[in-house]
Amino acid sequence: MKWSLILELSKALMLARFKQTAVAATGVMFSITMFVTLLGFMNGLNSMLDGLVLNRTPHIRFYNEIKPNPNQPVDITDEFQNTWNIIRSIKPSTSRLAIYNSEQIIQNLENDQRVLGVSPKVSAQVFFNVGTIDLTGIVSGIDVQKEAQLFAFTDYITAGNYEELNQTNTIILGKGLADRMLTGIGDVIQITTAQGNKMQVRVVGYYQSGLGDYDNSNSFASIGTVQKMLGEPPSYVTDIQVKLHNLDLAPSMARELEKIYNIDADDIQTVNAQFETGTNIRTLISYAVGITLLVVSGFGIYNILNMMIYEKLDTIAILKAIGFNGSDVNRIFITIALSIGVIGGGIGLVFGYFACLGIDQIPFETEALPTIKTFPVDYNPKYYFIGASFSLITTYLAGFFPARKASGVDPVDIIRGK
């Protein structure tokens, strides 16, 4: 059976009932528009919220945790081997915060195929001296270039010039911290380390992550500046931050390397499990809403096709009388349903894209998110592809039963009934 004839007949039937067909296609269009817009917007928000934390969180972080020694002397002594030992008021041992042999570890990690980049860090607890008051805070000594490259550091610098951080004795303050200290860019402030070393540093910029608590206590300087502040040698590193090519490998790699280097390792999944959950639920909701809309429009198509078949019983009977068989008639009505899906879905995808562009223009400025100026939208082609598939599947299903009914029409019944 030639498809051109099937298409011609379907087209004629649709044009004969142009209004209903247009209404059905509009239904599909509307739901696909909503579907694409919703997913684009939801996922834009998702990746923004994820980015808030995940972008600047290392996939694996190596550090030395301050904790009691798991091998207490009493357990090692032969005398108490077969007894139940209870030690009260256990204290952590004076273990070093610095990572032993850090240079070698960094080099090994950089040679690892799975690793995208490695960035060392020195964290120091400090007091910021403001007049007679001391504010507690943290100075992170970072490798500016690597931090920018791997953790989008520069995105969060809202004022000043981050390049100046490469000079010694310069600092970038968290916005909240700077506000509390009433300092401006170019001012010199005094820092006292927990060990009592004092140091004068010049403020070269503000940092604003969007997480208020974080910005109230954190500041950044170059690794060298912090090492100098602490009076430690250039090999002194407290954290090694690793970014991987594939984030999913993080937990297994963390466990593996933890053993090899004999240090503590945190992976991003374990640390940020709750983010994943939130993301999944938001995605689930958008799919549920989108599919509900499609199902509703599917029922619309079902109704309209049923009505069309009822009105066109004569036509179906003639077609059968002049030699069209059941499957030809079936194909005609499936073609009608799918055409409604293709046209409605196609226009819906275009409108959805425009709606996304529109949302993308709406200003959305908040203190907490310095890098965001308008609502975030995700234009991933995946959503358009899913939308297109869904519109075809629902319209096909909506057409399936009416088409089957049409193909089963007995022409004798119709012709005799006249």
Partner 1 sequence: MKNHHPTALQAEGVDKFFFNPTKTQVLKKVSFEVKQGEFVSVVGKSGCGKSTLLYILSTMDTDYQGKLHMDGELITGKPRNYLAHLRNEKIGFVFQFHYLLNEFSVLENIMIPGLKLGKYSREELEYRAMEKLRIFEMEEHALKKANQLSGGQKQRVAIARALINDPLLIMGDEPTGNLDKKNSDIVFNKFKELAQEFKQTMLVVTHDQEFAEGTDRIIEMEDGRVIRQ
Helical spans, DSSP H, in 112-241: 144-151, 175-181, 212-217, 223-230
Decide: is 336 part of the binding site for partner 1 (CB under 8 A).
no
Decide: is 307 part of the binding site for partner 1 (CB under 8 A).
no
How many residues form the binding site for partner 1 (CB under 8 A)?
A: 28
Decide: is 19 part of the binding site for partner 1 (CB under 8 A).
no
Decide: is 179 part of the binding site for partner 1 (CB under 8 A).
no
Q: Which of 256, 258, 286, 296 is nearest to 395 (CA)?
A: 296
In the bound state with partner 1, the residue whose beta carbon lies nearer, of 124 and 409, is: 409
In the bound state with partner 1, the residue whose beta carbon lies nearer, of 259 and 418, is: 418
Using the contact rule CB under 8 A, the part of the chain among 85-93, 281-289, 323-331, 358-366 near partner 1 is: 323-331
Start-to-end CA distance of the chain, whole Å, equals 30
In the bound state with partner 1, the residue whose beta carbon lies nearer, of 88 and 416, is: 416
Q: How do the residues of the chain divide into helix, strand and coil, expressed in percent and rounded to 5?
A: 60, 20, 25
Decide: is 1 part of the binding site for partner 1 (CB under 8 A).
yes
Q: Which residues, 6+ apart, have CB-to-CB distance to 76 below 8 Å?
A: none
Interface with partner 1 (CB under 8 A), residue from 66, 284, 321, 368: 321
Interface with partner 1 (CB under 8 A), residue from 12, 87, 188, 194: 12
Decide: is 88 part of the binding site for partner 1 (CB under 8 A).
no
In the bound state with partner 1, the residue whose beta carbon lies nearer, of 263 and 304, is: 304
Q: Which residues, 6+ apart, have CB-to-CB distance to 205 below 8 Å?
A: 157, 158, 159, 160, 161, 162, 164, 165, 172, 173, 185
Decide: is 86 part of the binding site for partner 1 (CB under 8 A).
no
Using the contact rule CB under 8 A, the part of the chain among 40-48, 72-80, 111-119, 322-330 near partner 1 is: 322-330
In the bound state with partner 1, the residue whose beta carbon lies nearer, of 284 and 412, is: 412
Residue 61 CA: distances (Å) to CA of 159, 244, 265, 377:
28, 11, 5, 30
Instruction: Let me know if 6 is exposed, middle or buried by CB neighbors in 10 A (0-12, 13-18, 19+).
Output: middle
How far is 11 from 17, CA to CA, in rounded Å? 10
How far is 194 from 230, CA to CA, in rounded Å? 9
In the bound state with partner 1, the residue whose beta carbon lies nearer, of 9 and 122, is: 9
Q: Which two tokens stand for residue 367?
A: 């203190």
How far is 175 from 217, CA to CA, in rounded Å? 9
Q: How far is the CB of 303 from partner 1 (least distance, A)?
A: 21
Interface with partner 1 (CB under 8 A), residue from 3, 5, 74, 285: 5
Q: How far is the CB of 307 from partner 1 (least distance, A)?
A: 16
3-state SS, residue 349: helix
Q: How far is the CB of 373 from partner 1 (least distance, A)?
A: 54
Q: How far is the CB of 394 from partner 1 (least distance, A)?
A: 26
Using the contact rule CB under 8 A, the part of the chain among 36-44, 130-138, 191-199, 410-418 near partner 1 is: 410-418
Backbone angles phi and psi of 61, in degrees to 5: -125, 125
How far is 49 from 53, CA to CA, in rounded Å? 7
Q: How far is the CB of 417 from partner 1 (least distance, A)?
A: 10
In the bound state with partner 1, the residue whose beta carbon lies nearer, of 8 and 248, is: 8
Using the contact rule CB under 8 A, the part of the chain among 2-10, 162-170, 293-301, 341-349 near partner 1 is: 2-10
Using the contact rule CB under 8 A, the part of the chain among 131-139, 188-196, 314-322, 374-382 near partner 1 is: 314-322
How far is 383 from 264, CA to CA, in rounded Å? 40
How far is 159 from 108, CA to CA, in rounded Å? 36
Kindly write down the DSSP assignment for every residue of 83-121, as one continuous string.
S-----S-------SSPTTHHHHHHHHHH-TTEEEEEEE
Q: How far is the CB of 382 from partner 1 (least distance, A)?
A: 40
Q: Which residues, 6+ apart, have CB-to-CB distance to 202 below 8 Å?
A: 169, 170, 171, 186, 187, 188
In the bound state with partner 1, the residue whose beta carbon lies nearer, of 31 and 330, is: 330
Encoded one letter per residue, x for contact with partner 1 by CB under 8 A and - for no contact, window 363-382 reads --------------------
Decide: is 311 part of the binding site for partner 1 (CB under 8 A).
no
Using the contact rule CB under 8 A, the part of the chain among 19-27, 217-225, 344-352, 407-415 near partner 1 is: 407-415
- Count CA within 13 A, CB hemisphere, residue 113: 0
- Chain residues in the site for partner 1 (CB under 8 A): 1-2, 5, 8-9, 12-13, 15-16, 314-315, 317-328, 411-412, 415-416, 418
